A and B are shown apart, each in its own frame.
Chain A
């Protein structure tokens, strides 16, 4: 028996875990928002804003966005790995996605803490 580790640092496992845990966080957040909106339907700007200015809602929404950004990164990277074969093209696309997602993260924080 020859026991040799042929593959590297288990990067695949990390992505696999990120994808599933972030999915769980987003599913739970979706249910929370649906319940919150059903319990107190936001009729106007004041009630809608009040929903998002609560501390727990801000924290939950921030967790949602962090999960979303990680999930979208792993997903888009997987798509590029399948279809964008030339390395230069793939790296450019991946870079564009990373920049876009980080910008979205900053935007989301602004939206939440201005509300």
Chain B
């Protein structure tokens, strides 16, 4: 009979920082955050679509509303959320098809999601300012 009380001394590792996420973890949590941002952004975007389509007068109101710097900033935040959510989402759809779901590729694509969505947001930001 082996001695079952004999315990191997294993190293104990406590993760003291739950925020020390690997890159795919950051892509994941921001996918969730951007999703919630888009849920709340939906109401304002519907309001904008409504005023932009209703009449020529309301179209002018829409233009005035989105030309305010604060509105542009919020819009840019929503645009970033949309871009990050869509690119991270496409990444997940690829993973479902087992495309790029190995760790090295998944790390690279997670980084690419951040770079592409932030770069596009910056370009759009420059364009609308």
Task: Report which A residues bind B (CB closer than 8 A).
Answer: 20, 23-24, 26-27, 30, 44-46, 48-49, 52, 68, 72, 75-76, 79, 97, 100, 104, 107-108, 110-111, 114-115
Could you list some 19 contacts between A and B, CB below 8 A? A26-B86, A27-B89, A45-B52, A45-B55, A46-B56, A48-B59, A49-B53, A52-B53, A72-B35, A72-B42, A76-B35, A79-B35, A104-B42, A104-B46, A110-B50, A111-B46, A111-B49, A111-B53, A115-B53
The B55-91 residues at the A interface (CB cut-off 8 A) are 55-56, 59, 86, 89-90
What is the number of contacts between chain A and chain B, taking CB atoms within 8 Å? 53
* B107 close to A (CB within 8 Å): no
Min distance, Cβ B65 to any Cβ of chain A, angstroms: 14
Decide: A48 and B39 in contact? CB cutoff 8 A.
Answer: no
* Residue B93 lies at the interface, judged by CB distance under 8 Å to chain A: yes
SS of B interface (majority): helix
A49 to B54, CA, bound (A): 8
Interface size class of B (residues with CB under 8 A): 20 to 34
Does B46 lie within 8 Å of A27, measured CB to CB? no
B86 neighbours in A (Cβ, 8 Å): 26-27, 30
Closest CB in chain B relative to A52 CB, distance in Å: 6
- B54 contacts A114, C-beta separation under 8 Å: yes
Residues of A within 8 A of B39 (CB): 72, 75-76, 97
Q: Are A68 and B42 neighbours in the complex by a CB distance under 8 Å?
A: yes
